[in-house]
Structure 1
Amino acid sequence: MSGFVWEPRFDLGVPEMNDEHRVLIAKMNRLEVLLGLNAPRNTARAALHDLLTYTKEHFASEERYMERIAYPAVGTHKRVHVSLIERLEGYASAHSAGAELGQDFFDFLHFWLRAHICGVDAKYAAHAHAPA
């Protein structure tokens, strides 16, 4: 497992979203470290629940921000959020039922966060910074 590191290309020029993305990265890394240390299952489950809960909070915050800046693709972006939450909830359910969270889970998280920030999030940031 290979922790996730904040990269300059993740900077959206939207401080509150950058801060929230950094928290997501920290929570992902905490879960990854716990699993790497073979922490008790309930400790890992709590960290996964914390990541899922914070992800939902972040998405709600991001959606409010997009509405505030009148981002025209907010509906599409919300659907992306729903899809990701469903996927995370699937991993959480599987873990609760006894499945291990392996490298494929972290590969998914790392890919998703990079693609999400540099893809769909970058679009609302560009809209926010566009001249009126």
Structure 2
Amino acid sequence: MSHLVWTADLNTGIAEIDRQHQRIVEYINALYDQKDNPDRSVLAAIIHNVVDYTESHFAFEEALLEQSGYEFLDLHKKVHALFIRRVSLIKGRFDGGEDVAGELHDILSRWLFSHIRAEDHNYKERVKGYLAGRGADAAAAQTKAQALQASDYERLLPELNQRMQKKGWLARLFSR
């Protein structure tokens, strides 16, 4: 076991995805920090946090891939589901009293960097293109919005509210 070090080749060029990946690395390194003087309550919190955060990251990533029209989304989701199942089994063993910190650290360490370099790098150009298009759409919308009069806003507000109610929180986040 050793500390993971984030290197430039792990960057996808998608700021939020890279930030989330780096946060997962911090959790993995926190597991490593417990190897010499393990505190079961600290380990429980770290394991809970890494599993919870990883599941949230996967949901975010999958929603982004869906929005971008990534053609291998179903396969990507299956890889995520298998990994979560494996980590959940280890967490269950920990909850049953086993010492799994080293095993979990090793699995997370190997899997994360391998997954980023392979699967995640496969989608990065598609997603970056999608986000760039949304940025261009946003810039065009801003120019158009500046030209609108106050009365136009009042006319458009009900339609906008209706659209926002139809979308989930993640879609609203990306529609800003």
Give the TM-score taking structure 1 as reference length.
0.91
1:8 counterpart residue number: 8
AA matched with 1:17: I
CA deviation after TM superposition for structure 1 residue 109, in Å: 1.1
AA matched with 1:67: E
- Report Cα offsets for 1:90-125 as digits up to 9, x if no partner: 110011111112533322111101110000000110
1:58 counterpart residue number: 57
Give the whole-Å Cα distance in 2 for the aligned partners of 1:125 and 1:89: 27
Give the whole-Å Cα distance in 2 for the aligned partners of 1:25 and 1:59: 15
2:171 counterpart residue number: none
Structure 1 runs not aligned, ≥5 long: none
Computed over aligned residues only, the root mean square deviation of the Cα atoms, in angstroms, reads 1.7
2:116 counterpart residue number: 117
Which protein shows a greater Rg? Answer: 2
2:35 alignment partner, SS class = helix
- Report Cα offsets for 1:49-102 as digits up to 9, x if no partner: 010000000000000110121101111100000000001101100111111125
1:80 counterpart residue number: 79
CA contact (8 A) 2:12 2:18 kept: yes
| Runs of at least 4 residues off by over 4 Å | 129-132
Q: How many residues align?
A: 131
Give the whole-Å Cα distance in 2 for the aligned partners of 1:117 and 1:37: 30
2:43 alignment partner, SS class = helix
| Larger relative contact order, structure 1 or 2 (CA cutoff 8 Å, min sep 6) | 1
Give the TM-score taking structure 2 as reference length.
0.69
Give the whole-Å Cα distance in 2 for the aligned partners of 1:45 and 1:102: 10
CA deviation after TM superposition for structure 1 residue 31, in Å: 2.0
Q: Which moved more, 1:54-63 or 1:119-128?
A: 119-128
Give the whole-Å Cα distance in 2 for the aligned partners of 1:93 and 1:56: 16
